[in-house]
């Protein structure tokens, strides 16, 4: 899918495509990067209290990574998903 097509997709679909591709291809680097940026995205999306919890609990980060395509958090992570999907156009 071209860059304009990616920009028009909702955050939850970008999340699904990027995470599904990363899991299917064993791309732990992307999944780790996603885990690292979730706390900042949570803060940017108005969930600062989640940031402190996420930084102290890896299980919370893993849970967030699975659901990080929804709502304000998904919107805050759109650039991460679009960048990854541009690098992997077959996703």
Report pLDDT for 84.
93
- Does pLDDT of 18 surpass 80? yes
- Per cent of the chain over pLDDT 90 is 36
Mean pLDDT within 63-78? 82
Residue 9 confidence (pLDDT) above 70: yes
Q: Give, as one character, the DSSP assignment of residue 2.
A: -
Round to whole Å and give the CA distance between 55 and 39.
7
Is the Cα dihedral 23, 31, 1, 9 positive or negative? Answer: positive
| pLDDT tens-digit series, residues 38-67 | 888 888 888 777 666 655 666 666 677 777
């Amino acid at each position: 899918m071209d860059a304009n097509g990616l920009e028009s997709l909702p955050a939850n679909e970008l999340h699904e495509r990027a995470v599904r591709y990363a899991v299917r291809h064993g791309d732990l680097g992307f999944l780790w990067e996603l885990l690292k940026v979730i706390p900042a995205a949570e803060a940017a999306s108005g969930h600062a209290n989640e940031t402190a919890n996420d930084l102290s609990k890896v299980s919370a980060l893993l849970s967030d990574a699975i659901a990080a395509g929804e709502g304000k958090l998904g919107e805050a992570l759109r650039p991460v998903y679009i960048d990854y999907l541009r690098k992997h156009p077959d996703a």
